[in-house]
Amino acid sequence: MNVEQPGIGVRHTRDIAICQHCGEGKFFGDPSYYDAEKDNYIWALNQHLLSVRKYKIKFSLYVGKRNNDKITAFINKLIQVLSIEVENMSDLQGGVVLQVKLSSLNEMQTIRSIIIDSAKRMNITIKDLTIK
């Protein structure tokens, strides 16, 4: 709540923004300030991120006997969780090589963990995983 002028109804979570995609909390500095010259408290509302990381990911998937439904389900899961965009998909014996791109607030290690965990849950083996 606004301590300087109670009753305005401004709420915040102690300078933490919650990501709507992954639920992770991101710390930021509160740019709100008191303008002594105008005797007014300036609130920084409707803040937006200025930069989002862009990644290119390439990985090889193996599912044993070629199973298109399993690979499609895995790709759909990554689209749902990470909002990836498939750039290229080429066949391998028993699997595929995927090249995807994504824009995310997550760190590279978090993205790697999400991909590997999703693959394990679907009994898909990832042979190579490169994130740039």
Provide mean pLDDT across the span 78-95.
Answer: 86
The pLDDT of residue 3? 47
Asked whether the beta carbons of 77 and 120 are under 8 A apart, the reply is no
Report which of 90, 88, 92, 86 is spatially closest to residue 64, judged by C-alpha positions: 92
Alpha-carbon 132 to chain mean position = 15
Report which of 118, 107, 92 is spatially closest to residue 24, judged by C-alpha positions: 107
The pLDDT of residue 100? 93
- Say if pTM beats, i.e. exceeds, 0.85: no
Could you give the domains of the chain? 1-49 (no CATH), 53-131 (3.30.70.360)
Provide mean pLDDT across the span 36-46.
Answer: 73
Model confidence at 97: pLDDT above 70: yes
Model confidence at 13: pLDDT above 50: no
